Amino acid sequence: MKNVVFKFGGAALQSAESIKNVEQIIDKFKPRLVVVSATAKTTNAFENLVDAQLNDQNIENHLDKIRKFHQEIISGLFEKEKNEVLENLNKVLAYCKAYLEYSKDTPFDEVYDQIVPSGELLSSKILGAYLQKKGHNLNWMDARKVLKTDNRFRKATPYLKHSKDELVSQIKASSTNLIQGFIGGTENNLMTTIGREGSDYSAALFANFIEAEELVVWKDVDGVLNADPRYFNTPELIPNLSYKEAIELSYYGATIIHPKTIQPLAEKNIPLRVRSFQNTQNEGTTINSTAEFDGGKSIYIYKPNQLLITLESEDLSFFGESKMSEIYHSLFEHKLEVNLIQNSAVNCSICVDNDPHKTSTLIEEFAKKFKVKYNENLELLTIRHYQTKLLEELLLNKDLIIEQKTRSTLKLLFK
Ligand code: ASP
């Protein structure tokens, strides 16, 4: 067994076949700890379930959709019609239904955190049962009892010392240790989540706690690419990246790594490898303290669904430090991160991801103090190490709203 941590995301767990592939990878490389997220699209499906309840819509079809998707995976992995994984699926969904019915007065973020992490609980049970079937000596750990957090629902902060002690005491030397990413638990045993796509961050914390030799994040791409293949035609692999460049990329929205992943790894000098679960012979991308990125290649980071909120002072007073600190305070309270900000003497434009649960109340709050305008459905393209000659082509037929440049980074907000 090697002291490495493996993390598998939704794409690696999307079908019975892909779970069989994950078992083979685990069997071949024998990592000390495996961290999983929910099966593909399940987190979104649970989010839709919570939204349906909030909007007084019928939730049965949402529950059915989640049930059917998981049932199909289960029936592709286990022969018996009725097995304990299936029972667990029904139990989790029955709990969600009952909880949603009785939590009408509970704040949205708290309800969200009691329901949405069910995706990770299901995927880890399914993978765990399959590992056992294949003869692994399984140690299934419950992240609610390992990653202890505060109760800032949907963006909880882990208590590091306590969580480390829990993990170290629960992990077993000669077992296949399996745990969920994304989930934590409060002192009062409520579930929490650490932010969407957060299981990379969980995995990095766990790697830090056990002083792993490496964290490997298994993906459906060959490694870190210089552009997101969903939006760009010919992305190229970047074989090596420094922690610093990787932090910059994830901060600007590169979805390949969660922005908080690097810090716990850098603290203990643990390399992060991004590899393909489809092409396991490929080396992927290594991110560490020594790697050099020559900057010869531009890196494109694309974020759709952006909201630009423009604030203007009612009395033409300046947007000075005190107003800006109020604005940042409101953004923090609404758990929103600024993707781009630009201000002049009497107005300030802020671009954030458009999550209506957060942005609608933020706009209401701003409207009490400022004149507010907003613009939805914008796209933000950040280019690291940009080459000016390619820009004209990129912006063809686009309505450019804001352009911001430093020597290494260009941000373009357009419609
Ligand atoms: N399942 C969660 C999400 O989709 C966490 C993760 O995948 O990292 O956001």
Higher-confidence residue of 266 and 317: namely 266
Which residues are paired to 374 by β-bridges? 309
**pLDDT-derived band of residue 393, with 50, 70 and 90 as boundaries?**
confident
**pLDDT-derived band of residue 305, with 50, 70 and 90 as boundaries?**
very high
Distance CA 106, CA 109 (A): 9
Q: Per the structure block, which two tokens stand in for 100? A: 């949603």
Angle, helices 84-102 vs 118-133, to 10°: value is 170
How far does the centroid of ligand 1 lie from the alpha carbon of residue 124, in Å?
13
How far does the centroid of ligand 1 lie from the alpha carbon of residue 151, in Å?
19
How far does the centroid of ligand 1 lie from the alpha carbon of residue 392, in Å?
35
Confidence at residue 295, expressed as pLDDT on a 0 to 100 scale = 61
> 120-141: b or e for each residue (b if 16 or more CB lie within 10 Å)?
bbbbbbbbbbbbeeeebebbbb
Confidence at residue 294, expressed as pLDDT on a 0 to 100 scale = 63
Distance CA 209, CA 343 (A): 42
How far does the centroid of ligand 1 lie from the alpha carbon of residue 119, in Å?
9
Q: How far is CA 121 from CA 37, 145, 203, 386, in A?
A: 9, 13, 16, 42
Angle at 13 between CA 12 and CA 15, to 5 degrees: 115
The overall average pLDDT reported for the chain is 93
pLDDT digits (tens, 9 = 90+) for 114-150: 999 999 999 999 999 999 999 999 999 999 999 999 9
Query: Ligand 1, from 199, 217, 353: best to mutate by most atoms within 8 Å of Cβ?
Result: 199
Distance CA 159, CA 141 (A): 18
Atom 2 of ligand 1: nearest residue by CA position: 197
Confidence at residue 296, expressed as pLDDT on a 0 to 100 scale = 72
- Indicate whether 388 pLDDT > 90: no
pLDDT (average), residues 157-165: 98
Q: What percent of the chain has pLDDT over 90?
A: 80
pLDDT (average), residues 283-298: 84
Distance CA 20, CA 266 (A): 32
Higher-confidence residue of 234 and 275: namely 275
Q: Is the CB of 119 under 6 A from ligand 1?
A: yes
Q: Is the CB of 182 under 6 A from ligand 1?
A: yes
pLDDT digits (tens, 9 = 90+) for 73-104: 999 999 875 589 999 999 999 999 999 999 98
Confidence at residue 81, expressed as pLDDT on a 0 to 100 scale = 59
- Indicate whether 350 pLDDT > 90: yes
67-71, 288-292, 326-330, range with the lowest pLDDT: 288-292
> What is the number of other CB atoms lying within 10 angstroms of the CB of residue 269?
11
Q: Is the CB of 9 under 6 A from ligand 1?
A: yes
Confidence at residue 352, expressed as pLDDT on a 0 to 100 scale = 97
Q: Is the CB of 197 under 6 A from ligand 1?
A: yes
pTM (predicted TM-score): 0.87
How far does the centroid of ligand 1 lie from the alpha carbon of residue 112, in Å?
13
